[in-house]
Structure 1
């Protein structure tokens, strides 16, 4: 797993920097993947036991994840996995559409690069997952597909912003939930194929439009799901 910079806080000096970075990364992955569901309580004592460390790096990791929008620390109440508002989900998908559309356009301009071969292999595996109705396997391939598109754009700033956004969305958790809807597996695969076809033809404009359409379709599925569609907030009213 990719290493993230340790959190800079005075209390963190009591714990080895490598320990704190590991806790942040592993706890982030657990939230994003759905091990800890939205609104689940996160006990410092229990997490310290799970991750084999003291409470100090756990406390600092939770502070970092609060900054990232993944947890909510309520004074004198506790810490909980954060459920974004419906408005936040919409806004994050609007940014996702722009970033991934740009990624598809830039990748199409590059011609025959390694990422294109990896995308072809991804589509083959995805087809098998659809045939077997294996939503969990397909969800992993969805994450890989989108990451390959943005990586293939060969723009480090775009990739950094994109991965931060995906963390905030806890995207894997959203995909697993929405793929259970009838017909969504096959429709998603068809959308992926359309994007890759435009990229293969070096049609940057078409690739961007196809990717934007795909992201909007995914957004509609997420918002239609009462579990993933985000909580209502005053701003949504």
Structure 2
């Protein structure tokens, strides 16, 4: 039977492993590590001040999540989704975010709506200043606020997993360089919020799905198709 000290030690190790997985995952999702980058166990163990064993375990977890791929006798690399996978992930994104907008519109005036209004104001300033990095951060924040505002735990769980696989932030940064896209995206966000504030759940879902479809078209036009497996 495990002692209280052993149980505490096991719990601490588990928490550290979870934290390491979360840190590496965030670095991939935010674009700190780009698609195709080598994730060296030695470099990661030095960076995060841990031994190679927890790094190896963390990379195995991220492999199951579809974020990295292991090439035997070569190493572990940040996985690049195929063109088809990106298209399919955006189809799911459209469905989930459309549902989130619909659910939020039904809730009435909740704190997330105030946060979304503030977000739009800040995004407008970022667009006027041509600050693409702030725009990318605020766009991601808008979508996360929308999903949080839906107040559906399972929706949030599936959405987070989807966004991790999509590695969304680098894609947003790419589309913001397209002529006219920053202003178009801002206007699409504004339309979504107007329907939500008006408690028009069907209009909110329609506007959100249209916005995601427009984003998908921008991303896929910039993505060079890879193997379709």
- Band the TM-score falls in, shorter-chain normalisation: over 0.9
1:56 aligns with 2:53: yes
Provide the residue aligned with 2:161 in structure 1: 164
1:208 aligns with 2:205: yes
1:1-237 matches, within 5 Å, as 16-225=13-222, 229=223, 231-235=225-229
TM-superposed deviation, 1:21: 1.4
Once the two structures are superposed, residues 166-225 of structure 1 have per-residue CA deviations (whole angstroms, 9 ceiling, x without a partner) of 111011111112111111111100000000000011100000000000000100111111
After the TM superposition, list the runs of 4 or more consecutive aligned residues in structure 1 that deviate by more than 3 angstroms. Answer: none
- CA distance in 1 between partners of 2:160 and 2:120 (Å): 21
- CA distance in 2 between partners of 1:19 and 1:75 (Å): 27
SS of residue paired to 1:41: coil
Please, which moves more after superposition, 91-100 or 19-28?
Answer: 19-28
Contact 2:65 2:165 in 1 (8 A): yes
- CA distance in 2 between partners of 1:134 and 1:75 (Å): 41
- CA distance in 2 between partners of 1:195 and 1:211 (Å): 6
SS of residue paired to 1:58: helix
- CA distance in 1 between partners of 2:74 and 2:113 (Å): 49
Unpaired runs of at least 5, structure 2 = 1-9
Once the two structures are superposed, residues 16-40 of structure 1 have per-residue CA deviations (whole angstroms, 9 ceiling, x without a partner) of 2232112101100111111111001
Over the aligned positions, Cα root-mean-square deviation in angstroms equals 1.2
- CA distance in 1 between partners of 2:141 and 2:25 (Å): 18
Contact 2:84 2:228 in 1 (8 A): no
- CA distance in 1 between partners of 2:151 and 2:183 (Å): 29
Once the two structures are superposed, residues 38-58 of structure 1 have per-residue CA deviations (whole angstroms, 9 ceiling, x without a partner) of 001111011100111100110
Unpaired runs of at least 5, structure 1 = 1-12
Once the two structures are superposed, residues 59-81 of structure 1 have per-residue CA deviations (whole angstroms, 9 ceiling, x without a partner) of 01100111111100111121100
- CA distance in 1 between partners of 2:228 and 2:215 (Å): 25
Provide the residue aligned with 2:4 in structure 1: none
